[in-house]
Structure 1
Amino acid sequence: MNNTVLAKWFAERPQWLQVAAIRLLEQSELAEKDISELATLCQQEADGKLPKTTYPFPASAFSQGASGTLRLCSISDVEGVNALAPKKPLEFGKGNITIIYGNNGAGKSGYVRLLKHICGARETGILHRNVYKPDSALQKACISFEQDGVTKSHMWSGQGICEDLSSVDIFDTSFGKVFVSSEDEVSYEPPVLSFFSSLIVVCEKVASALDVETNRHQSKKPSISTDKKVTPEGIWYESISAKATIRDIDKHCVFSSSDETEIQTLQQRLAEQAPADKAKQLRKQIIHIDSLAQDAQKYLEQLSDENYRRIIAAKKNSILKKTAADATAEKVFSGSDLEGIGSDVWKELWEAARNYSVSDAYKEAEYPNVSDGSRCVLCHQTLTQEAKEKLSSFENFVKGEMQKAATDAAKDYEIASQTIEALPTSETLKTRIDAAGIPQDEVASQVTDFFAQLQARKDQLLGIDSEEAIPDPLLSPQWIEESNAQSKRLVELAAKYDEDAKNDNREEIKKKLSSLQARKWLSEQRSAIDEEVSRLKLLNQIQEAKKTTNTKALSQKKGELAEDLITDAFVQRFNAELKALGAFQVKVDLVKSKVSKGRVLHKLQLRGASQNGLADVLSEGENRIVSIAAFLADVTGKSNQAPFIFDDPISSLDQSYEEAVVQRLIELSQDKQVIVFTHRLSLVGTVRHFAEKKAIKPDVVSIRSADWGTGEPAPIPLSQSDIKSALNTLMNQRYQDAKRASENGEFEHVEILLKSICSDFRTLVERSIENDLLCGVVQRFQRPVHTLKLKELAKLKHEDCNLLDSLMTKYSGFEHSQPAESPVELPKPDDLLTDMTSLKIWREEYAKRTA
């Protein structure tokens, strides 16, 4: 593998994946913390917040190291797994091939299922607890093994696998279904392919972590009512997405006081049954509103500081001119006999006399008439010369400049004062407020208070003689502006009522009202909408991140590598295994099917057939032998020395296939540990036969079902155990147990023990006939006939047959049923020991005898 090419390929991958690759090379398996950190990096990269960096791929990656060795030693402390409840560990022996024998229900399948879960088989299945003990403890087991010469143990606690044992390969019925009925991945992978497989798993875990993050951000968007959904605002709200901008949101969600007014207006328009009359009514109201506002503005201008200053100036000028005129009058009238000459009262009298003179008494003469014979227009007496002179001087005064100036100034002051009109009374003002449609609320109070302020300012003017005494000016009140706005709105509303009277536009009004009401609702949900848009943007970012977890590129790359590193070799191994197993007539081919998520998948197909109905065409035995060939092709390509485990591999096989499989297993055991679970004694015998030819001694372990559960290690069946060892066990252990029970007076127990010893002794006598007397020419559970051993039968004597016949006859009653009326009597313990001793002595002598 060219790491330079691989480094270049990885440099083109997402940064977070480069980080994942480096971590995976450093620690072989990533923890949950790593996955969480990678998911964060993935999101940051998708969001553009991850600094651009390249992580160089190590040049030393995937260098081929030395293959390790692995041996399974034992399983112990099993709890909560099927009906398994062994009190003693299940030992796997010291040799390279071990047969675990047990009858149906002894616990073999339970051990295999347990091993599949601990070692991580491809199809583990469900590992049930003891269905007869629903309250059983949690699942657990301890498995001990030897790795590269170092003894280790793993405590399995019901879940997970032991990574050190992940290379152990297990064959059972499920494996056959995988390869014959479907397709499966090649389990052997060179380091680089294993690395890609692990990296694909990391991608899937990161994708799952991103899914979890997505699920954490559930929508809290409130539901909109059905009637609002059909409005433009409702349609927008229902389809809101991460692309929504602040401008979009404002466009649909901003709701002002004018909008609220518009809603009320539309509601009024819909409620109005006589829109034309309503328009007339509104126009009358508008007149009163405008009049009230205009008058208020007029009075505000009349009482402004500028007008105040103008009036005060006129007042001051009038006073000044009058003072000057009074001073002149004082000089003119200083000799008068009467007081008040020249005063304002006098002036009024003088003007009244003038009017009388020119209009009635002396129409043709100027006033005062001082001609000869003229009379006083007041007393009608003839004027004396002195009187004439006084009247002429009075007229000159009145018509003089000073007096005229004083008179003019007084008129100017009067005119200026008249620029401030009389304000309406409180009763008049209330009537005008009602006519303007202003409700008796705060606004009405503002109007009343303002006019009261105007009246107070007007009243203050009478006592003010200088600009310095002018009070602070009144500002234009807010209600005037509001009244003008209200007047404008009413003008528009009146026009709309006129339009309503002319046209039938109620549906259009309803739509507009619904739209405004929807926008009002949206404005109330603004914070939730902002939150929803932020959530959608975050989800978009997470989805963009998740796209980078797609395993397609990794799968394609692994597929390319697999073409060179594994596929052809695997097919060749499969064909070789079929040949080694004697399956010449089975016409099947193993072909690559596809690459899925980096897994190289294969399938079996019938050679030359139009359809691939493999499971329907092959017999059960052929299915099994093809499955075994595929399994062996799968696992023999590994460089390590991991054990093989077979669960009843010869099921459904005939004698030829059975022997071929056994020979292949023995061949495999020369390099690796092979463990076979079986319920067939014939397999035990066949393994022993072919192992003997290879000078290999297999370990045979027996398990049984006990009162407390299954899987309990037990003595090897006498039919398969060593006769000498079994006979010594009967004589030195079990006979001694019976003797001690007899000495203790446990007579019922003694009887049970003696019956058991007699039955087993009968079996050993029968096996001695096969193996010793007949020299093993023909043996049960074994197919071959050893004709070369026939010559050894020459040493057979009549006495040998008599001894074994007598023993067979004496102890047959303990192997076969007997009539109840004549039960078999148990031998005395000493007699039993004598018979067992005689068999032992005979075997030793017969073995030394020559023909």
Structure 2
Amino acid sequence: MTNNNDSLSKWFSGRPRWLQIAATRLLQQSELSDKDISDLATLCQQEADRKLPQTTCSFPATAFSQGAAGILRLCSISDVEGVNALAPKKPLEFGKGNITIVYGNNGSGKSGYVRLLKHVCGARETGALHHNVYKSSSAVQRASISFEQDGIPKTHTWSGQGICDDLGSVDIFDTSFGKVFVSSDDEVSYEPPVLSFFSSLIVACEKVASTLDAEANRHQSKKPNIPADKKVTPEGIWYEAIGAKTGHQDIDKNCTFSSVDESEIQTLEQRLTEQAPTEKAKQLRKQKQHIDTLIQDSQKHLKQLSDANFRRIIAAKKKSILKKTAADTAAEKVFSGSELEGIGSDVWKELWEAARNYSVTTAYKEAEYPNVSGDSRCVLCHQTLTQEAKERLISFENFVKGEMQKIATDAAKEYETAIQTIEEIPTSETLRARVDAAGIPQEEVASQVTDFFVQLRARKELLSEIDSEEAIPDPLLSPKWIEEAGAQSKHLGELAENYDEDAKRDNREEIKKKLNSLQARKWLSEHRAAIDDEVTRLKLLKQIQEGKKLTNTKALSQKKGELAEALITDAFVQRFNAELRALGASQVKVEIVKSRVSKGRVLHKLQLRGASQSDLSDVLSEGENRIVSIAAFLADVTGKSNQAPFVFDDPISSLDQTYEEAVVQRLIELSQDKQVIVFTHRLSLLGTVRHFAEKKTIKPDVVSIRSTDWGTGEPAHIPLSQSDIKSALNTLINQRYQDAKKASDNGEFQYAEILLKSMCSDFRSLVERSIENDLLCGVVQRFQRPVHTLKLKDLAKLKAPDCDLLDSLMTKYSGFEHSQPTESPVEMPKPDELLADMNALKSWREEYAKRAV
């Protein structure tokens, strides 16, 4: 890739932040899951609503970069934890040569190592890197990658995330590389990694947009229909026009409906039905007068029974008592010699005043009281007054008219006057009649009025019992019903004026409009919850629509078109065609041609050259698709200027022997300049690599891995079918035989028998390989197509004893390689017997190799 990654990183920094997050996820995994799309849709909405948390999510400058020019070599992978089932105790060494074959059976850990390298090196589609699914999950993922950069040893410790920038130039080919698919025009399209990355982003935008559409469809309107006659009111017009910008204040203004509004509705309805508005106005004013009178009387009684009035009356009472006591004391002195008791008392004073009244109005109208002249008589008993009686009456009158008595009398009158300032409190029956006349309909308010007057009456009755200010009870406060009654009085006055106005002119239409408007507001208040929900829904839909704008793919398509011009060049096309020829796929007649850019999806096409049928899915086989993908991969990566390793994961899968050999030869050719590491489970690939490497005087490094009790990925011995016969035979004699003998000496007979049986099977394979390579001089070998006819001359040294020896060994040990009937099991040779046979083969090989023709 020749694109300037700094420019690409800068371009991405100007994209919506949710798209930057999507790009980061796509760089970390091969594709976005349904959960990823759901998360991204949420982030998109949050960004549209300006609520997306500030996150650092820049486009990595090393993504799709060619890496720095220079020589890079992978050396080993060690200390692997938490990656698939990998649990090697020894490092996986890649050797010193430029081509390394990592062989292992299915399930031995090859894919685990490749996935690990993809994550560490930042491959285009890394995929998920799971823990061992058969064991309890560990929170730790780590590995140590040793490599050389321009001859300098380095080590990168990977801790489960992130990539190693120094290894960013490593190219990895597996089944996920080179997307080859059939387009809507039945044309197979290929995209290099960076363009495929943009295509994936465009797909992500479309999926997020679809998710947002689905979210919008989930929120269908539940807005109730307002009655038709209410739609023409200001409230109805507002209701029909509510939208995402409708605020709470606006909703409150149009949806608030109080008891006052309900009363006004009733009033307006009454006004419309009233046939005699003038008489109605009179009734309302009369009712208002009753309310006003009730309020005034209540306030009057409240004032009369105030603390200040109580204190004034109590003071007058105390003064009257005090002055009367003083007058009584004086009277006692005056009348101390009286023969009758009570002279000077209140009762006596009333009698005296009554006698006075009778004398001056009836008996002696012209004389002063008491009349003591001549033969005057007593006005009470009508007897003629004696001189003594006359003197007594005069003394009585002098007492009554005396200063002390006058003061006492004045004080008593003052107290009486104060008491009379408190008027009578209406009885409950009278009060009920007045409440009814005032038209107070609410039972609760009527009860408040009654209770208040009960309190007034009780307070008035307490006054006669109170002799000091300290005994005055807490004052009564103005009750709430007075305020409410005052509001009602005001309302009645206004209503009476309205009826007067109704009587003057015809304003029924105006009243109807006002009534309809109030009824519309009442309807809105009853559906307030639905209105709130609708506004919330509309705001959410607006947010979703704003989010959809952020999924527009135009900028991505344009950028992808620009990149296509830089990447899909004639040189790339030439490299692709050259790779097809090198891989022996010329007969496929596939060519790359430029195509249109439609939403960034198609940049160039793979098509059959000169074919009438364009449906490549019906033409190309699985193997042909594979070889085309390899050609596209090599055409891309060989354009780089650096010398970074190539890693291939089972590159010959689905290929026949012809393509397999072509791929192997191309890999060996690539290894002339760069390190090539191939992971495979096919022995045929291992043999083919060795064959063509030998022609180039290249010795490939072969590493074997296997599955163990503790996990996969453990380095192991090379399979006997591909290992050096001399080394393998020495291993059997010097190591494995000694292990079996030690187990037997220790009494571990069952384990010793297992080891011996395994040795017999492997020894039989070595005998078979010795026949191919030694006895028949390697003229024909398994897993290899060539027949080495020049070696036929060496067959002249072959003698009958040679055949007899090898035939006897093959016969003797074949039972350990092939299944045998249970009724005649193969007898296990003694350890010393097996050792003797192995030494016999070793001696024969040494002698046969030196034998002259």
| TM-score category (smaller protein) | 0.5 to 0.7
- The match for 1:513 is 518
Q: Counterpart amino acid of 1:144?
A: I
Name the SS of the counterpart of 1:585 in structure 2.
helix
Cα distance change of structure 1 residues 771 and 658 upon mapping to structure 2, 3 Å threshold: same
The match for 2:191 among 172, 185, 188 is 185
* Cα pair 2:118 2:172 within 8 Å, conserved: yes
- Distance in 2, Cα, partners of 1:784 & 1:15: 57
The match for 2:174 among 156, 172, 175 is 172
- The match for 2:265 is 266
State, as a whole percentage, how many aligned pairs show the same letter.
62
* Cα pair 1:186 1:600 within 8 Å, conserved: no
- Distance in 2, Cα, partners of 1:444 & 1:64: 95
Cα distance change of structure 1 residues 718 and 15 upon mapping to structure 2, 3 Å threshold: closer
- Distance in 1, Cα, partners of 2:122 & 2:2: 31
- Distance in 2, Cα, partners of 1:269 & 1:732: 117
* Cα pair 1:78 1:141 within 8 Å, conserved: yes
Does 2:498 correspond to 1:492?
yes
Deviation at 1:102, TM superposition (A): 2.6
Task: Please give the per-residue CA displacement for 1:417-472, whole angstroms capped at 9, x wherever unaligned.
Answer: xxxxxxx9999999999766578879999xx9xxxxxxxxxxxxxxxxxxxxxxxx
Cα distance change of structure 1 residues 678 and 444 upon mapping to structure 2, 3 Å threshold: closer
Name the SS of the counterpart of 2:274 in structure 1.
helix
Runs of 5+ consecutive residues of structure 1 not aligned to the other structure: 22-28, 31-35, 48-61, 297-423, 449-476
Cα distance change of structure 1 residues 238 and 770 upon mapping to structure 2, 3 Å threshold: farther
Alignment map for 1:726-745 (pairs within 5 Å): 726-745=728-747
* Cα pair 2:120 2:158 within 8 Å, conserved: no
Cα distance change of structure 1 residues 513 and 502 upon mapping to structure 2, 3 Å threshold: closer
- The match for 1:108 is 110
- The match for 1:151 is 154
* Cα pair 1:224 1:234 within 8 Å, conserved: no
* Cα pair 1:278 1:494 within 8 Å, conserved: no
Runs of 5+ consecutive residues of structure 2 not aligned to the other structure: 20-26, 29-39, 52-63, 295-422, 454-481
Name the SS of the counterpart of 1:573 in structure 2.
helix
Q: Counterpart amino acid of 2:280?
A: L
Deviation at 1:84, TM superposition (A): 4.5
- The match for 2:282 is 284
The match for 2:693 among 681, 691, 694 is 691
- Distance in 1, Cα, partners of 2:491 & 2:826: 127
Task: Please give the per-residue CA displacement for 1:91-123, whole angstroms capped at 9, x wherever unaligned.
Answer: 333322222223334343444445445545444
Deviation at 1:576, TM superposition (A): 1.4
* Cα pair 2:268 2:515 within 8 Å, conserved: no
When the two chains are superposed, the root-mean-square deviation of aligned CA atoms in Å is: 6.0
Task: Please give the per-residue CA displacement for 1:218-262, whole angstroms capped at 9, x wherever unaligned.
Answer: x9xx9987769976647745754465589967864687xxx8644
Deviation at 1:667, TM superposition (A): 1.2
- Distance in 2, Cα, partners of 1:2 & 1:122: 16
Number of corresponding residues: 646
Task: Please give the per-residue CA displacement for 1:372-413, whole angstroms capped at 9, x wherever unaligned.
Answer: xxxxxxxxxxxxxxxxxxxxxxxxxxxxxxxxxxxxxxxxxx
* Cα pair 1:93 1:699 within 8 Å, conserved: yes
- The match for 2:719 is 717
Task: Please give the per-residue CA displacement for 1:63-96, whole angstroms capped at 9, x wherever unaligned.
Answer: 9984244433444455565555544443333322
Name the SS of the counterpart of 1:755 in structure 2.
helix
* Cα pair 2:71 2:644 within 8 Å, conserved: yes
Task: Please give the per-residue CA displacement for 1:165-205, whole angstroms capped at 9, x wherever unaligned.
Answer: 4544333334466457864531268xxx99xx79x989x99
- The match for 2:357 is none
Alignment map for 1:5-154 (pairs within 5 Å): 66-78=68-80, 83-125=85-127, 133=134, 135-137=136-138, 140-146=141-147, 148=149, 149-154=152-157
Q: Counterpart amino acid of 1:490?
A: A
- Distance in 1, Cα, partners of 2:2 & 2:585: 39
- Distance in 2, Cα, partners of 1:139 & 1:20: 29
Q: Counterpart amino acid of 2:586?
A: F
The match for 2:665 among 639, 663, 666 is 663
* Cα pair 2:103 2:705 within 8 Å, conserved: yes
The match for 1:785 among 784, 787, 791 is 787
Task: Please give the per-residue CA displacement for 1:536-590, whole angstroms capped at 9, x wherever unaligned.
Answer: 69x9799879967866336424522431344433322221111111111112222
Q: Counterpart amino acid of 1:151?
A: K
Cα distance change of structure 1 residues 495 and 639 upon mapping to structure 2, 3 Å threshold: farther
Cα distance change of structure 1 residues 69 and 542 upon mapping to structure 2, 3 Å threshold: farther
Cα distance change of structure 1 residues 83 and 497 upon mapping to structure 2, 3 Å threshold: farther
Q: Counterpart amino acid of 2:664?
A: V
Q: Counterpart amino acid of 2:575?
A: R
* Cα pair 2:244 2:535 within 8 Å, conserved: no
Cα distance change of structure 1 residues 262 and 799 upon mapping to structure 2, 3 Å threshold: closer
Alignment map for 1:396-411 (pairs within 5 Å): none
Q: Counterpart amino acid of 1:96?
A: N
* Cα pair 1:100 1:702 within 8 Å, conserved: yes
* Cα pair 1:82 1:129 within 8 Å, conserved: yes
- Distance in 1, Cα, partners of 2:828 & 2:100: 38
Deviation at 1:512, TM superposition (A): 2.8
Name the SS of the counterpart of 1:575 in structure 2.
helix
- Distance in 2, Cα, partners of 1:579 & 1:723: 37
Cα distance change of structure 1 residues 542 and 842 upon mapping to structure 2, 3 Å threshold: same
* Cα pair 1:73 1:143 within 8 Å, conserved: no
Alignment map for 1:453-472 (pairs within 5 Å): none
Q: Counterpart amino acid of 2:493?
A: S
Deviation at 1:783, TM superposition (A): 0.4
Cα distance change of structure 1 residues 143 and 240 upon mapping to structure 2, 3 Å threshold: farther
Cα distance change of structure 1 residues 18 and 503 upon mapping to structure 2, 3 Å threshold: closer
Cα distance change of structure 1 residues 284 and 147 upon mapping to structure 2, 3 Å threshold: farther
* Cα pair 1:43 1:541 within 8 Å, conserved: no
- Distance in 1, Cα, partners of 2:524 & 2:145: 72
Q: Counterpart amino acid of 2:788?
A: H
* Cα pair 1:76 1:141 within 8 Å, conserved: no
Q: Counterpart amino acid of 2:628?
A: V
- Distance in 1, Cα, partners of 2:276 & 2:610: 95
Q: Counterpart amino acid of 1:185?
A: E
- Distance in 2, Cα, partners of 1:658 & 1:618: 17
Task: Please give the per-residue CA displacement for 1:10-62, whole angstroms capped at 9, x wherever unaligned.
Answer: 99x999679999xxxxxxx99xxxxx9xx99x989999xxxxxxxxxxxxxx9
* Cα pair 2:764 2:817 within 8 Å, conserved: yes
* Cα pair 1:241 1:536 within 8 Å, conserved: yes
- Distance in 2, Cα, partners of 1:266 & 1:837: 119
Q: Counterpart amino acid of 2:577?
A: N
- Distance in 2, Cα, partners of 1:623 & 1:530: 55
Cα distance change of structure 1 residues 547 and 841 upon mapping to structure 2, 3 Å threshold: same
* Cα pair 1:279 1:498 within 8 Å, conserved: no
- The match for 2:586 is 584
- Distance in 2, Cα, partners of 1:843 & 1:241: 95
Cα distance change of structure 1 residues 140 and 19 upon mapping to structure 2, 3 Å threshold: closer
- The match for 1:794 is 796
* Cα pair 2:435 2:446 within 8 Å, conserved: no
- The match for 1:453 is none
- Distance in 1, Cα, partners of 2:2 & 2:87: 52
- The match for 1:704 is 706
Give the structure-2-normalised TM-score. Answer: 0.60
- Distance in 2, Cα, partners of 1:240 & 1:734: 88
* Cα pair 2:706 2:713 within 8 Å, conserved: yes
Name the SS of the counterpart of 1:677 in structure 2.
strand
- Distance in 2, Cα, partners of 1:772 & 1:83: 41
Name the SS of the counterpart of 1:173 in structure 2.
coil
Cα distance change of structure 1 residues 85 and 245 upon mapping to structure 2, 3 Å threshold: closer
